[in-house]
Amino acid sequence: MKMIANFINGGAVASTGLRTGDVFNPSLGHVQARVELANGSLLDQAVANALAAQPAWASVNPQRRARVMFRFKEAIEANMNELAEMIALEHGKVIADAKGDIQRGLEVVEFMCGLPHLLKGEHTEGAGPGIDVYSLRQPLGVVAGITPFNFPAMIPLWMLAPAIACGNAFILKPSERNPSAPVRLAELALEAGLPKGILNVVHGDKEIVDAILDHPDIKAVSFVGSSDIAQYVYGRGAANGKRMQCMGGAKNHAIVMPDADLDQAVADIVGAAYGSAGERCMALPVVSPVGEATAVALRQKLVAAIGDLRVGVPTDPDAHYGPVVSAQHKARVEAYIQLAVDEGSELVVDGRGLTLQGHEEGYFLGPTLLDHVRPDMQSYRDEIFGPVLQILRASSFKEAISYPSSHAYGNGVAIFTRNGDAARQFASAVQVGMVGINVPIPVPVAYHSFGGWKRSGFGDLNQYGTDGVRFYTQVKTVTQRWPQGGSVIDQSFVIPTMS
């Protein structure tokens, strides 16, 4: 059986005595490979190589580092099909969705090709008599990223591209559920000219996560995952003096106003709610129609649209989405559907019990629609992370805004309306980090930054964009004066003032 090794100092590390984890094929429900789970000793080896390689990489001028990013971008594009097939095989995404996963990460690599401009500091001439002040952005050293199963290419690229471009060495701990694409990305970076030791991939579970958070030579950690784990990672890393950036879960809402284009809204909401089997932190699992008439019309159109969805294997070109990632996750989502029913929700469309011929052991779930959901229900408060859409009716615009604003999560939200004033009020008032106006999944483009509020984000800086550069660099400010005519200017410094 295929064994997926750790990738350290430019190559696979053959190890003995390590624990291993099973890598499943979600469409078939069986083990297709095993992954070696690193321990603290192997992490030490990765960090030692990173420490040795990082100073020389940091001394490479930004333009030349940007050229490596250009070649890395080209390598990813040339191997898009191979990477997409790896993701589909281990995650269960349909091929088109897997390519979208890669593309959104690729855009961050592309943005980092403009690194020389992004690293420019500030300068003040004549801050005092003969005195100039300027600032530098310098890399932190060795940094790390811990990424989830749902985007095996995009989120690693969100982290490693700015970290490496800024002159750091990077330790990537991807999800052990689908480790192949991250390792392949590291190989492609090496082919693009990245020096050995600058990008290392260590696989593992909580043991290696804790080792990363405790390692004294890792200066910063970026994390994406569930909120409870994000809070734990943030707290433990910060307690060890690390710079931390932790993105958690979500319960994103779509507000549908009475004047919305319902056909367009339904098409967008169905794609956002059920695409990738709902396993996205920017999915739309809750829709809040404003007014009874809007709710009735919306529900009718949703049921019709759901009936046209096709669940299939990743290689099916007509499938809208594939299986969920594991048997345990399938059981979890099914349990939430039953909980919602037990709490009083109306089960309009039940996605449980779906099987595909020839793939009876696969982790497939049909689209589920629940109506008459209430804010006090646990099934509403929790992140389900599956192909489940809940209708939470609102009697007014004010009530609709209150639902996402008062929720524990604050990742993304969308409003569907033709009214510019309502959209403007909504964008200003709603207490959520990323807002879409007639846009169902408002993930910012690569030259902005991604980040939620409340339990969706821990830390002061967001992912990628200029925030990514700030996170992976530290500012050094220099105040200087020079002798004139062989002697220092006739000025003296007295704390706290200068005379």
> What confidence category does residue 495 fall into, taking pLDDT thresholds of 50, 70 and 90?
low
d(CA 47, CA 171): 7
> What confidence category does residue 497 fall into, taking pLDDT thresholds of 50, 70 and 90?
low
Residue 304: the pLDDT is 98
pLDDT digit string, tens, across residues 409-460? 999 999 999 999 999 999 999 999 999 999 999 999 999 999 999 999 999 9
Q: Which fold has domain 253-437?
A: Aldehyde Dehydrogenase; Chain A, domain 2 (3.40.309)
d(CA 231, CA 246): 7
Residue 17: the pLDDT is 80
Beta 409-410 vs 243-247: how paired, if at all? unpaired
CATH 3.30.70.2740 is right for the domain spanning 2-248+456-478: no
281 flagged as catalytic: yes
Closest alpha carbon to 403 in 434, 380, 371 = 380
pTM for the structure as a whole: 0.94
Q: What is the chain's mean pLDDT, rounded?
A: 95
Domain ranges of the chain: 2-248+456-478, 253-437
Tell me if domain 2-248+456-478 and domain 253-437 are identical in fold.
no
What is the percent of the chain where pLDDT is above 70? Answer: 97
Residue 153's Cβ-count burial label (10 Å; 0-12, 13-18, 19+) is: buried
Residue 488: the pLDDT is 56
Higher pLDDT, 483 or 437: 437
Q: Which of 113, 166, 246, 281 is catalytic?
A: 281
Question: CB neighbours (10 Å) of residue 1?
Answer: 9
